[in-house]
Amino acid sequence: MPALPDLTPADLAAFSQKYGLKGTLERLPSVGIVNRVYRAARNDREVVLRVPLPGDDRDALTESVAAPAAYRAGVRTPELLVFDDDRGVVAAPVTVYAFAPGRSLEGYGWAEGDPRLLRAYREAGRELARLHAGVREVPDPHSRLQTIAPPNLVRTLTRVTEGKKLGLADATWATETVSRLLEAALPPPPVFLHNDLHAGNLMVTEDGAVTALIDWGDAGWGDPVLDLTYAGPLAAPELLRGYRQEAKLDDGATLRLLAYLLSDAGRRLAYVPEAHETDLWYTRPGTALMQLLRVSVQFPEWREWLGGQG
């Protein structure tokens, strides 16, 4: 992923003065496509300054509402110390968070089946359960939190058939199977979702212990099972196991898990990655479908649906 443009020395000095940051601001590797992140000190504690690119302000606005709600609920996430939307230094809202130790799970490169990787996803599943149970309402006067919509099956069908990624019969089977699954396993009332929990947004230690869920810019309200899908099919079983160690899910949860993973795998078949994305599993069009096939043996209740007899 190409590095985001750095801030100027004058910008950094202005932020240091404005927020009482001490010492030299250390640029941290960019793990996303929006924020420049700097490590600093403030009031004798380590913090990070996050500055989005001008025009990419939606995530920061959502985080200003979502991150404090998760923190108050006891979820492992950095405390939001400053939210500044006066845009006096750069044309974007700026945040200062408490520093989360470790680094992103994506950065470790652990192989499938590594105990540290399995531990990270199980612990993340437990954190999601705490999030869903602990956040019942969120002050949101500017309506910054989304209502997370179900999959757009008509759009997926159109894209994969017009792009000749699947024949009409196979694409129709997939989208109709998703539709029938969602009709057979209706979701419970919406809960508060992170809505983007993948390896890049999990901070972990060298032994796989989760230190923080980060990047709340897509948070909103929806089906709790959705939060188990964004890390991909290979992660979903461990996320589910961890979740169930902390809380119950409704009886239809595993069927909706299949629905969302199958829908996402179909959607990704039509995705054309940009040049800097070719090494990421989730931008390789067929990977999600292959991973779904591999994990399907762990869910006997999926068999009749994948066999076309649902």
Locate the domains of the chain by residue range.
9-101, 104-306
Predicted structure pTM score = 0.93
Q: What pLDDT is recorded for position 29? A: 79
The CATH code belonging to domain 9-101 is: 3.30.200.20
Q: What pLDDT is recorded for position 32? A: 62
**pLDDT tens, position by position, 120-154:** 999 999 999 999 999 999 999 999 998 999 899 99
Q: What pLDDT is recorded for position 276? A: 64
Q: What pLDDT is recorded for position 308? A: 56
Q: What pLDDT is recorded for position 22? A: 94
Q: Is the pLDDT of residue 71 over 80?
A: yes
Q: Is the pLDDT of residue 309 over 90?
A: no
Domain 104-306 has CATH 3.90.1200.10: yes
**pLDDT tens, position by position, 166-190:** 999 999 999 999 999 999 999 999 9
Confidence of residue 31 (pLDDT cuts 50, 70, 90): low
Q: Is the pLDDT of residue 310 over 50?
A: no
Selected residue with higher pLDDT from 35 and 174: 174
Let me know if the fold of 9-101 is the same as that of 104-306: no
| Whole-number Å distance between alpha carbons of 211 and 123 | 10
| Whole-number Å distance between alpha carbons of 59 and 160 | 29
